[in-house]
């Protein structure tokens, strides 16, 4: 079996984006709605068996109601054996990166969850769609808006559902924040601050520090959470952004951004700021309103989260966010329920990411954003 290398990542990404032929395979699990999906559990194949699949997704899939772990895709023989034994995965449901396209013939697999380095998201999301499988793509959706467009188009042509791995949209604290905003529980939001950061001390050769594989640094990794928080915490998409970048460890962060701050303006008059870093620990959301305030701290880790408002604490029992997220997406396919994090949301966030990088490159210039028509700020949209 060929081992996945950096060169292979980039070559296959290019091939995946340039290829336009659509395999003649209909989705194995259609959006059925109503009673037709009653009692069904959709099979998920995890593509990439790194730490997130190993310690979060696979364990969560042992407790999901509408989906289950049915297959794996990996470049490691050793992982094949470990996972097959641990999760009782049949040999016919184990794939590598070269024979992946034959998954089209496997009726056990309904959904492909792409959990690979960012530069491979587009390739394998597109290949999964061409194979007639519904797609969950981890964040960021791609390493450019063009890649996001390619994924969305491939899923549209293939007639499959596309969801982002935005777990927070399915957990109760985030949903409560959305409710506050929608119902104006604390009045109009005037200012919002969102932070998402951790200090990286790991292997300097890790893929997250390699721009060819990651597409960026803290912003595309943790900054997406800050962007998301500022949007669902105001109920609006920003209309402009101004950004700054800081680096205090250039010997470690040689290719990728270490720390970024940005300021948003929103159409309703609110302003906001985000902070993201691979060199500091931060995890919070705070909104000041004309009739009070609300906050989450922590706001974006795997939980349990915690919240406070000007009227008292926010309290919900903890459940696996990944379990809730994957069940929500499976329910969307089976019963036609809402897709809480569609592909268009991933594209919107990448538009903002690119604008932030543009602002930095152009001397911290304010960049106008035209996202009003995209909606996607709450379940009500």
Catalytic entry in 97, 113, 166, 225: 225
pLDDT for 248 equals 96
Place of tokens 């061409």: 130
Catalytic residue status for 198: no
pLDDT(196) > 60: yes
pLDDT for 373 equals 66
**Strand bridging mode 162-164 / 189-199:** unpaired
Place of tokens 């992946």: 100
Q: Which domains does the chain carry?
A: 6-16+27-164 (3.40.50.720), 168-374 (3.30.360.10)
pLDDT for 24 equals 36
pLDDT for 377 equals 62
pLDDT(241) > 60: yes
Q: What is the mean pLDDT of residues 245-259?
A: 97
Place of tokens 């790991």: 202
Tokens standing for residue 159: 């007639």
pLDDT(208) > 80: yes
pLDDT for 37 equals 61
pLDDT class of 131 with cuts at 50, 70, 90: very high
Q: What is the mean pLDDT of residues 60-85?
A: 98
CA distances from 119 to 17, 356, 378 (A): 11, 19, 28
Q: Residue 304 and residue 297: Cα distance in Å, rounded?
A: 10
Q: What is the mean pLDDT of residues 236-252?
A: 97
Q: What is the mean pLDDT of residues 246-264?
A: 97
pLDDT for 375 equals 62
pLDDT for 39 equals 79
Catalytic residue status for 225: yes
pLDDT(168) > 60: yes
Do the beta carbons of residue 274 and residue 227 sit within 8 Å?
A: yes
What pLDDT, in 10s, does the model give residues 354-373? 999 999 999 999 999 999 76
CA atoms lying within 13 Å on the CB side of residue 306: 3
Catalytic entry in 130, 139, 161, 323: 139
pLDDT class of 70 with cuts at 50, 70, 90: very high
Query: Over pLDDT 90: what percentage of the chain?
Result: 87
What pLDDT, in 10s, does the model give residues 13-64? 444 443 333 333 445 444 444 445 667 999 999 999 999 999 999 999 999 9
Q: Which of 83, 57, 89 is nearest to 327 (CA)?
A: 57
Average pLDDT, the chain: 91
pTM: 0.90
pLDDT(12) > 70: no
pLDDT class of 11 with cuts at 50, 70, 90: very low
- Quote the strand ranges of the chain, DSSP E: 42-47, 67-73, 94-95, 111-114, 134-137, 162-164, 189-199, 240-246, 259-265, 271-277, 279-289, 292-296, 307-309, 312-314, 367-368
């Amino acid at each position: 079996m060929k081992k996945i290398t950096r060169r292979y990542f980039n070559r296959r990404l290019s091939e995946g984006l340039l290829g336009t032929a659509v395999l003649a395979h209909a989705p194995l699990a259609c959006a059925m709605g109503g009673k037709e999906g009653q009692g069904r559990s959709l099979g998920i194949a995890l593509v990439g068996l790194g730490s997130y699949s190993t310690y979060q997704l696979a364990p969560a899939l042992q407790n999901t109601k509408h989906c289950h772990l049915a297959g794996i895709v990996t470049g490691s023989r050793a992982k094949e054996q470990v996972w097959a034994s641990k999760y009782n995965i049949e040999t016919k449901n184990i794939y590598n990166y070269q024979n992946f396209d034959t998954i089209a013939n496997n009726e056990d697999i309904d959904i492909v969850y792409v959990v690979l380095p960012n530069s491979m998201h587009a390739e394998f999301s597109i290949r999964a769609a061409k194979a007639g499988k519904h797609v969950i793509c981890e964040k960021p959706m791609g390493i450019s808006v063009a890649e996001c467009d390619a994924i969305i188009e491939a899923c549209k042509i293939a007639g499959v559902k596309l969801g982002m791995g935005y777990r927070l949209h399915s957990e109760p604290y985030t949903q409560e924040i959305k409710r506050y905003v929608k119902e104006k529980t604390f009045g109009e939001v005037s200012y919002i601050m969102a932070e998402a950061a951790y200090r990286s001390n790991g292997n300097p050769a890790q893929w997250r520090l390699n721009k060819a594989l990651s597409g960026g640094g803290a912003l595309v990794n943790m900054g997406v959470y800050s962007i998301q928080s500022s949007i669902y915490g105001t109920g609006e998409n920003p209309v402009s952004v101004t950004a700054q970048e800081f680096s205090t460890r250039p010997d470690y962060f040689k290719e990728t951004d270490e720390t970024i701050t940005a300021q948003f303006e929103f159409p309703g008059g609110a302003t906001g700021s985000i902070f993201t870093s691979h060199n500091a620990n931060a995890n919070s959301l705070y909104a000041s309103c004309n009739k009070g305030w609300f906050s989450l701290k922590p706001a974006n880790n795997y939980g349990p989260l915690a919240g406070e408002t000007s009227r008292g604490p926010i309290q919900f029992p903890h459940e696996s966010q990944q379990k809730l997220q994957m069940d929500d997406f499976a329910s969307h396919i089976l019963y036609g329920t809402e897709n809480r994090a569609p592909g268009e949301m991933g594209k919107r966030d990448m538009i903002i990411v690119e604008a932030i990088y543009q602002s930095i490159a152009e001397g911290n210039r304010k960049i106008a954003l035209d996202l009003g028509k995209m909606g996607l700020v709450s379940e009500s949209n």
